[in-house]
Structure 1
Amino acid sequence: MTDPTSDILTQRAPRQERGRRRVDEILDAAEGLVAEVGPAAASIQEIARRAGASVGSIYHFFPTKDALFEGVRARFEEEVGGIAATMLATADEWARLDLATFVDRSLAPFIELTERRPAIFLLSVNAAGQRVPKDAAVDAAMREATLATFARRYPDVPAAELSLRVDVTRGLGDGLVALMLHADAGGRRRLLEELRRAIHGYLASYEEGAGR
């Protein structure tokens, strides 16, 4: 005797998989178009054309363009969460690196992400030009990972001082977002190099003559 429940589950799984693929195709199309023309000029009609989907299909998954852009941001945040997990898992190893390598290793995943997905900057502000809040859980995970790395690198530094250093280094990166928004690919690379120099100089001021 055939189990009807099994039949339903078997039918549902392919539909769910097709739905996930369709969402990914729509998000890919939206991200690519935003990188080319900016969020304001990215129309649902053109996103649908690039995704090979109907406009109705897009609205089925994303009721508004803002909801669609939020879906793209969520994928960025997911990648940042993965970077935080890697940092936390390798904190002991990173703590033993020389300062230049330590800074380079810390920034490398973000540089790779921003070069591969430049729309991350264009979607960091809303239509009114206001900064879109970060995902609180992902931001907390990144701060925890950075703090863990600093704690292993500077084991004799009090917790309050470590926390301050973490907030300053993170603040340096956050402060560049507005500049990144208006820069081309070459300009973004230059700004990221300046960020590396700024963080290196800041941490070197503590490590020089301190046995680190």
Structure 2
Amino acid sequence: MTEHSHSSSHLRRRPKQQRGKERVEKILDAAAAIFDEVGYDAATTHQIADKAETAVGSLYQFFPHKAAIFNAMELRHVERAKVFWAQITTPEVVQLPLRQMIQVLMRSVSELFEHPVSRIVFIQFYTAREIFQSIDEGMTQEAINVLASILEQRNSHLGKDKASLIAEVCVHGTNAIILAALRNPDIQHRQRMTEQMEDLMVSYLEPHIGDHLVENVMKVMKCPHCRSRQISKNGSRRGKQCYLCKDCGKQFVESVMLKATQDTLQ
């Protein structure tokens, strides 16, 4: 990273008042529209200011140059992506039937990229990566890690390496489809591509985390405290699956639960 790109990673002046924050968001949305229309290289701060319906001097109060505007867009996208990841990793989502879980994922992806800033940042990452200052391949790896965690929660017998490999295929595959969809101006065609992506994900993941696998495992599992079979997955801790008993309300890790189940079967 050059000295120039490092210095541009911060706002010249951070807005404290709500009106100033709204002006910054309006500038970022306007920049997304201009970058989409003419491309990053051809875009100017004057065009962005005009689109945001603000004076260019007002724009310079917050951003010293175009690179700083784009970097702020990067950071906004990262914030939204982290919210997206948090939403899809809740036990309520992870424990849904496979088709419903994928539908929630796809709906959340669509909502994420409905925002112009996230849409343009995603497209630019695959078409003009040299302009990026904050986002790199590490963000893709985070997405892979998040999905791998979901896979392990649904089927703890996958193992970390297998779950990571499956997640890597899913993330890179869906990113390619999302990129093609976002670059297509036909909104209806985008929707059709999203629907096909849902079918693709379900077909690929069904052998690994299909409902029959999850149901078969859960049927023989018992709470080590009250022997109830009414248990549900409840996140993970130190690489081990955690469970919650719906009857007694106690939590326990996979190793404790498996020992109790084996004792019962014996």
TM-score computed with the length of structure 2 as normaliser: 0.61
* C-alpha separation in 2, matches of 1:175 and 1:130: 19
Q: CA deviation at 1:180?
A: 3.3
- Residue identity opposite 1:200 in structure 2: V
Structure 2 equivalent of residue 205 of structure 1? 207
Structure 2 equivalent of residue 5 of structure 1? none
How many aligned residue pairs are there? 196
Percent identical among aligned pairs is 26
Structure 2 equivalent of residue 170 of structure 1? 171
Call closer, same or farther: CA 1:126–1:175 in 2, change over 3 Å: closer
Cα RMSD over matched residues?
Answer: 3.1
Structure 2 equivalent of residue 63 of structure 1? 64
Deviations 1:124-148 (A, max 9, x none): 3455x76958456654543343222
Q: CA deviation at 1:209?
A: 9.4
* C-alpha separation in 2, matches of 1:126 and 1:67: 19
Structure 2 equivalent of residue 103 of structure 1? 102
Deviations 1:34-85 (A, max 9, x none): 3455445543222212323222332343233233122223212210111112
Q: CA deviation at 1:200?
A: 1.1
Alignment map for 1:4-153 (pairs within 5 Å) = 16-17=16-17, 18-88=19-89, 90=90, 92-117=91-116, 118-125=119-126, 127=128, 134-135=135-136, 138-139=139-140, 141-153=142-154
Structure 2 equivalent of residue 195 of structure 1? 197
* C-alpha separation in 1, matches of 2:211 and 2:72: 47
Bigger radius of gyration among the two: 2
Deviations 1:68-111 (A, max 9, x none): 122223212210111112223x1x22332111101111221111
Pick 1 or 2: higher relative contact order, CA cutoff 8 A, min separation 6: 1
Q: Mark the runs of 5 or more structure 2 residues left unpaired by the alignment.
A: 1-13, 215-266
2:87 alignment partner, SS class: helix
Specify which structure has the higher proportion of helix.
1
Q: Mark the runs of 5 or more structure 1 residues left unpaired by the alignment.
A: 1-13
* C-alpha separation in 1, matches of 2:191 and 2:159: 34
Specify which structure has the higher proportion of strand.
2
Call closer, same or farther: CA 1:65–1:153 in 2, change over 3 Å: same
